[in-house]
Structure 1
C-alpha cells in the first residue's frame, strides 16, 4: 500500500530540510578550516630554540626512510641538514647497502660534515608487512634521543620547522597550560609539481585545497585523532607504551603501558602506520595532537590520472577499515554531491532554480579552497598557472564520487609494488602479486605504486 500524499510531502520536506542543513554545516566546517589556515600558516615566527645553546634544548633523532631515487630527493634530504636547531642527529634508513638513495646521502654527508648524520641499513629486518616500518627499525633502535622526527623521503621542510615543532612538543615552563600533554606534532602536506603530468596537477589540487581544508578543520575541532604522517614528531618513550589496539591504558597517567609487543615494531602490521601511531597515542595514552605553522612540502613526480585514481582508491580502502562511519559519509562532504543535494532542497523549499544556485555554490567553494592553498603556500596560485590549477581542481571534484564508489567495494590495495589485503582496523596481510592491466589499476592494484610519488627506478 502506497504512502498517502501527506506522508510523501512530509518526507520530501524532511529530506529537503536535511540537505540544506547538512550543506550549511559542511560549508561552516570548511570555513573553519579556511580561517584556521589563515591564522596558523600565514605567519611563521622564528623560534627562540633556533639560536639556543645545544645543551639547553631537547635532542631530536630524525628518521628518514629511503627507497630509491625519489623525486627531488637531494633537496628534500638537504632540508634536514640545514635545520636551525642546535641538537639533532639524522638517520637515513635503507633496507640494503646497494640502495640508489645512498649516493645522494653520501654527497650530502660530505657537504655537511658538521651534522651528525649516519646511514642505518636494515638488511632485511622484518617486524611486519609494512616495508616503511621495517626500514625504520634500525634507526629507531639506535636513536640517541627521545624525541623522534619521522620524515618521508619525498618531503622538504623549511629550516625553522624542527625548532617550531619542538616548541610545541616540549613547551617551556612559562608556556600556557594545555588540557592535555601534546604527544604528536604533525605538518600539513603541501604538494608541488615537479613533472608536468595531468595526474600530478590533480594530486596537487587535491592536497592543497580540499584535503588541507578538511585536515585543518578536523584538527582545529580536535574531536579525534587525524594525522597524515608525512612529517611527525613524537616521543619514543610514549611510543614504547602503546601497541595500536586503541584500548585506553587505565594507569596511563602514572606510566602504565600495554602488555605484549609495543613500540614501532607493533605497528608493522598496519599499512597506515603513521595514522595508527597518532591514534594510539591519542586513545591509549590520552595525549593530544597539534600542528605547527609549517608545512610538509611534497614533491609530486610523474603521476598519470590512473596513478592518481589508484592512489586515492588505496587510501579510501585503508580508511574504510579504520574509520568506517567517516568513510561511508565521505561522498556527502564533496562539493559535487552536496551541491546538487542542496540545490534540490532549496528548490523544493524556496523555489530557487538549480541553475542559479549551482554556479554560485561552485564559485564560492573554489574561492575558499584557493584561499586555503594561498595560506599554506604563502602566496596565491600564480596568475600564469591559475586556470590550469582550477581545471585540475574541477577534475578532482568530478572524480571524487567515482573513486569512492570503486574503493568502497574492494579490500585489496597495492603499495610499493606489492599487493595487500586490508583487514579490520587497517591491518594488512600480503596478497598475490600478479600484475594487472588498466582495469586492475582503476580498482586499486595497478602495475606501479605511487605512494612515494614515482621513485625513478620504478618508472615505466
Structure 2
C-alpha cells in the first residue's frame, strides 16, 4: 500500500510538468507564427504600397538587357485578351513575345492575332505545336518557344495572369541587382525574380471567392514572409523571370553543381525539358536554381494579377488537395506541420496553453486573436491591391475568408491520405520529389469521393498529355 501510494504521488507532479512544458512550447510556437506573419505584413506595407518607375522604362534598347516573354496558351481563359495585352504594353525597350499553343485550332489564336495586329511595333510571334518531353503539358507547350527565344533572359507568364506596364523593367532591376561594391561583401547572385499572385473573382462563383480570400490574405502574407527570411526556395510559378543560361545548368536533382556548365548532359536531362516530369515544374525550377547553383530569388514590388473564372467550392477543395499531395512529396516536414500554422488550429492550441499557464479564459482570447489576425490579413490585401476591399463586398469576402479557415484542416487531412490527383479530368500518381505518372482507370475517385467531385475548372488551363513511354 505504501509503495502504491508513493508511486501515485510521484505521477501527479510528472503530469503537471509535462503539461507546463507542452503549454510553454505551444505558446512559443504561437509567438513564432505571429512573428512570421508580422514579417509578411510589414513586407507588404513597405514594398507594395509604393511602386517606383524604373530607369529602364525610358532607356534605349541598347541599354536594356533583351527579354523573351513566353506565354503558354490553351483555350479562352478568363480575361484572356486583357491578360495577353498586358505584356504588349510593357514599358521596356527591348523584348519579344512568344505565344505558344499546342493545337492550330486553339480558341486563343484569334485573340493572339488580333493583339499582334493592334500592336504592330511589338516583336511578337505565334508558335504552334507542342513537343512532348514529359508528362507536364505546360512544359510540352513551352519547349519550342523556349528554344527559339532570342534572349537569355526568359519571362514565363501563365495565360490567366496580367501585369502592370512597369513590371518587366522593375523585374530586370531586381534580377540584375545593384552594382557590386568592393567595400561590402558580395551577395549571392539573383537567379529568379517572381511576383506574388493577387486574385480577383468577379463571376459570382463561391469557390472562386474562397480562392481569392485565401490567395490575397494568409497565402500572400506567408509567401512574402518566407521570401523575406529567404532560408529556402518558395516560388509560385504564375510569373517567373530567369536566365536560360542558368536553367541549362540544372536538371531538378537539387544536388549542387560545379561552377562550370554541364555541357556533356543530354538535352532532355537539363534545361526546361528536364522539368517535364514534374507537376509543379515552376517550383522545381526555382528550387533547382537555389540548390544546384546556389542562386537566390527576389520579388519585385509588382503583383501577378490572377483572374479566377468559374470555380465551385468543390473545385477549390480539390485544387488545394492536389497541391498538398504534391508538396508532401517535395517538402514533407513543412506539409506535416502545415495545420499548426493555420489560424484556427493555432488559436485553439494557444487558448488551451494560456488557460493552463495563466488561467485566461478562451472566450476572452479567441475573439481577440481572430479579429487581429483578420485585420492583419485585410491590411495585406490592401497593400497588394492598392486599395481596401470595397464596402459592398466586405462581408461577402469575410464569409469566404472564414470558410477558407474552417476548411483548411479537413482539406489537409484529405490531401495527406492519398497520392493520386485529378488534373483536368485525368488521374495521376504523385511520386518522389513531385514527379508524376499517369494511372489507369477512371479519372474520378471511387466511392463517395467520386460521387461528390466534379471535373475541376482549374485556373491552370492545360490539358494533360500521355507520357512519352506509357
1:166 aligns with 2:175: no
Q: Secondary structure of 1:234's partner?
A: strand
Q: Distance in 2 between matches of 1:46 and 1:257?
A: 39
CA contact (8 A) 2:81 2:111 kept: yes
Within 5 A, what are the aligned runs for 1:57-76? 57-76=64-83
Match of 1:99?
A: 106
TM-superposition CA deviations, 1:423-456 (whole Å, max 9, x none): 010000112362437943699x74234142799x
Q: Secondary structure of 2:126's partner?
A: strand
Which structure has the larger Rg over C-alpha atoms?
2
TM-superposition CA deviations, 1:356-401 (whole Å, max 9, x none): 1000010011011011111100111111111111111100000000
Question: Aligned-residue CA RMSD in angstroms?
Answer: 2.0
Match of 2:136?
A: 130
Match of 1:139?
A: 145
- Structure 1 residues 453 and 32, CA, compared in 2 at 3 Å: closer, same or farther? farther
- Structure 1 residues 294 and 177, CA, compared in 2 at 3 Å: closer, same or farther? farther
- Structure 1 residues 113 and 441, CA, compared in 2 at 3 Å: closer, same or farther? farther
CA contact (8 A) 2:318 2:456 kept: no
TM-superposition CA deviations, 1:79-100 (whole Å, max 9, x none): 0000000110111111111110
Large movers: runs of 4+ above 6 Å = 174-177
CA contact (8 A) 2:428 2:437 kept: yes
* Aligned counterpart for 1:13 among listed residues 16, 20, 32: 20
TM-superposition CA deviations, 1:290-323 (whole Å, max 9, x none): 0000000000111111000000000010000000
CA contact (8 A) 1:435 1:446 kept: no
Report the count of equivalent residues. Answer: 451
Match of 2:449?
A: 440
- Structure 1 residues 157 and 302, CA, compared in 2 at 3 Å: closer, same or farther? same
Match of 1:327?
A: 335
Match of 1:23?
A: 30
Q: Distance in 1 between matches of 2:198 and 2:263?
A: 35
Match of 1:80?
A: 87
Q: Distance in 1 between matches of 2:145 and 2:301?
A: 27
Q: Distance in 1 between matches of 2:124 and 2:145?
A: 11
Deviation, 1:411, is 0.4
1:365 aligns with 2:373: yes
Match of 2:212?
A: 204
* Aligned counterpart for 2:274 among listed residues 266, 271, 274: 266
TM-score, L = length of structure 1: 0.94
CA contact (8 A) 1:414 1:449 kept: no
TM-score, L = length of structure 2: 0.92
Match of 2:468?
A: none
Q: Distance in 2 between matches of 1:172 and 1:334?
A: 37
Match of 2:121?
A: 114
